[in-house]
Structure 1
Amino acid sequence: MFTNVQPIAEELHQQQNREFIYFGKHHLSVETGHTTGIENVDNFLKNLIISEKMKESSLEIIDDLFSAFTDFTHELLNLSLQMNDCENSISSLYRNDFDYLILGAGPAGIQLGYYLEKSNHDYVILESGKSPGTFFKDYPRHRKLISINKRHTGYDNPEINLRWDWNSLLSDSEEMLFKHYSKKIFPKC
């Protein structure tokens, strides 16, 4: 996915003179698969023993995170729709000559649409579900986000904080950061 998004990020960089380090070539070059930095992570996880109570508690936390994430993507889509003239958005759906076609109104699709809109690009987002983030209504089955809500990183630099925030979508608004939606470490889906 990052390989496919990289050319779009480069074009946006050229137009806005802004580096998109979270979905451009920088992110592609440093993406680690979100490992924890522990040597032999796979072996560590395979040998990890947790009680049934801890497992249930962990799944509840993950459910809470995914629930908050779903709410967050719905709010972001609503904000995007408010930014557009609704009549133009609806009438544009009857065209078939867009410069960009975004498949899916999940986090990546909505975020890409946000930046294409800011750059005045001609695009459309197609979603097979009834609403944005449909995937998160059923998955993950344990109903929790799998990346922790890193509200505090120990840094004051917003770019560093965002690098460790795997749940927020990129936005020009501080209010849109995921840490403002939930204080739980693993919110529900």
Structure 2
Amino acid sequence: MRHVLAILVKFISLLIVLYVFLGLIFDLSFADVLGIAAVLTAVGYVLGDLYLLPRTSNLAATLADFGLAFIIVWFMSRAAADSNDLFTASLICAAAVAIIEYVYHSIVPVNRRTLNKTDETDQNIQSARTLPRALVKFNQRPGHERLQTEASEELFPSINPARSKKRKGSKLHKK
């Protein structure tokens, strides 16, 4: 259900943006805009939201969505219309889609279970909400889990003459 709602929100927002620019300004039919929005939603959700966004930042995923939107809108609008100014239309639409995607990525939660993390790591991320925001964002990226070190005494310490009186019966003191 979570994916259906996310796809629906993405599709409606892309349809509105693409119809304003491609339909009203560049005179593409509603059916063409609907097809472009459907393809852009499907490909963008799988590549951008499910694969790229959990592994990178919002900015990187938005830049990838910009490139993807530009390519898809340009190729599909060239097949649908005979206008010569489709490069500009694709560039404007890609910029508008990138703005929408940036807001969409910040609203829709990222599913971090797609990275096959263990439940313990997910609980550590959830418990990190009390930490400063920059630290939490750093620790939520894959490969940046909280790492800790342990310190202990050496297993075979060098024999100190001052302490050797206490260890005369130990195996290390015998010659």
Q: TM-score range by the shorter chain?
A: under 0.3
Which structure is higher in strand share? 1
Q: Give the TM-score normalised by structure 2.
A: 0.24
The structure having more radius of gyration, on CA atoms, is 2
TM-score by length of 1: 0.23
